[in-house]
């Protein structure tokens, strides 16, 4: 079989299994098997595949047919300007979370020497991107999952900044630390009803990355209470929220001594990131 025939087989199987991005995914999987870029694949469609490569491709198509995310199949995901190793112990970094990094960069400059705390670090994508961009700053990253912390440590090693970030395996409510200039977080914020509806799409990712009690606010409440203690006066708390949580979260922040600086929308115009300042 040549690449064109192989791709049309992949497209057919993925389409039959209701994978919306079937065409792109087949191309990515075949390019991976051929060890070339997707662009190179598309200009060499007549190239023949040997049996070994074909079998490898069929196996990858089977995994994708069962909804396994491409990022887990490839064991990596791009976030901000960098690549991160991912596995099924961590959330796959999402593009909307890059807003947090973007806002931190607007509030600091290359020479800033600040202390950052990342709560629920997962793969480490937020804190590692920030410290790469602000190399005179240092960070601490927490996660309740030991396996997530281990992966975040290997990502920090891969990016040569393990000496600048302290990783701690602990629940946010138990953490006692120093004072920070910035606290950043993409906390779990999905309520139980919404989680059951989403489950098909996110079932490969760890529950602990999504689930936040009956109202979806349990982890955001912990985050705000802890930030109230750990932020310096005028320190910034910047975090991601769920699609219908803006009003409730603003109230919680105000009650706890925070001023709301800005709400950033994601590309679907959904309020997604809140920037607030601890004023008392």
Ligand X SMILES: C[S@@+](CC[C@H](N)C(=O)[O-])C[C@H]1O[C@@H](n2cnc3c(N)ncnc32)[C@H](O)[C@@H]1O
Binding site residues, ligand X, CB under 6 A: 90-91, 93, 97, 119-123, 125-126, 142-145, 148, 171-172, 186-188, 208-209, 219, 222
Confirm if 57 and 29 have CB atoms less than 8 A apart. Answer: yes
Q: Which helix H or strand E contains 278, and what residues bound it?
A: strand 271-278
Name residues whose C-beta falls within 8 Å of residue 226's C-beta, 6 or more positions apart in sequence: 119, 172, 173, 175, 183
Confirm if 137 and 113 have CB atoms less than 8 A apart. Answer: yes
- Please, which residue, 48 or 81, has the CB nearer to ligand X? 81
- Smallest gap from residue 219 Cβ to ligand X (A): 5
- Please, which residue, 32 or 145, has the CB nearer to ligand X? 145
- Smallest gap from residue 122 Cβ to ligand X (A): 3
Quote the Cα angle for 15-19-20, to 5°. 95
* 277 closest CA partner among 195, 212, 180: 180
- Smallest gap from residue 94 Cβ to ligand X (A): 7
Q: Please give the C-alpha separations between residue 132 and each of 12, 101, 138, 150, 165, in angstroms, as whole numbers.
A: 42, 11, 10, 19, 11
Task: Please state, in angstroms and rounded to a whole number, the distance separating the CA atoms of residues 63 and 61.
Answer: 5
- Smallest gap from residue 124 Cβ to ligand X (A): 8
Region of 125 please: left (phi>0), alpha (psi -120 to 50) or beta.
Answer: alpha
- Smallest gap from residue 223 Cβ to ligand X (A): 9
- Please, which residue, 31 or 100, has the CB nearer to ligand X? 100
- Smallest gap from residue 138 Cβ to ligand X (A): 18
Task: Name the 3-class secondary structure at 113.
Answer: coil
- Smallest gap from residue 271 Cβ to ligand X (A): 17
Q: Please give the C-alpha separations between residue 77 and each of 20, 110, 241, in angstroms, as whole numbers.
A: 19, 25, 22
- Please, which residue, 48 or 174, has the CB nearer to ligand X? 174
- Please, which residue, 26 or 121, has the CB nearer to ligand X? 121
């Amino acid at each position: 079989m040549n690449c064109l025939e192989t791709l049309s087989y992949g497209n057919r199987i993925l389409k039959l299994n209701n994978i919306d991005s079937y065409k792109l995914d087949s191309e990515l999987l075949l390019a991976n098997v051929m060890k070339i870029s997707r662009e190179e694949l598309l200009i060499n469609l007549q190239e023949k595949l040997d049996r070994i490569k074909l079998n490898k491709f069929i196996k990858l198509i089977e995994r994708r047919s069962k909804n396994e995310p491409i990022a887990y199949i490839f064991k990596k995901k791009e976030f901000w300007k960098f690549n991160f190793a991912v596995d099924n112990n961590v959330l796959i970094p999402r593009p909307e979370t890059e807003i947090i990094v973007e806002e931190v960069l607007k509030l600091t400059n290359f020479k800033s020497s600040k202390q950052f705390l990342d709560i629920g670090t997962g793969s480490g994508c937020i804190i590692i991107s920030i410290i790469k961009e602000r190399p005179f700053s240092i960070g601490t990253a927490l996660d309740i999952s030991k396996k997530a912390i281990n992966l975040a440590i290997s990502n920090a090693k891969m990016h040569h900044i393990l000496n600048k970030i302290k990783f701690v395996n602990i629940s946010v409510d138990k953490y006692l630390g120093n004072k920070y200039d910035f606290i950043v977080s993409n906390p779990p914020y999905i309520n139980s009803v919404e989680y059951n509806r989403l489950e098909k799409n996110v079932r490969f990712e760890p529950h602990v990355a999504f689930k936040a009690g009956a109202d979806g606010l349990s982890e955001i409440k912990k985050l705000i209470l802890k930030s109230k203690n750990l932020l310096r006066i005028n320190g910034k708390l910047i975090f991601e929220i769920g699609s219908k949580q803006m009003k409730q979260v603003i109230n919680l922040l105000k009650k706890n001594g925070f001023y709301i600086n800005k709400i950033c929308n994601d590309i679907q115009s959904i309020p997604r990131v809140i920037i607030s300042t601890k004023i008392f």
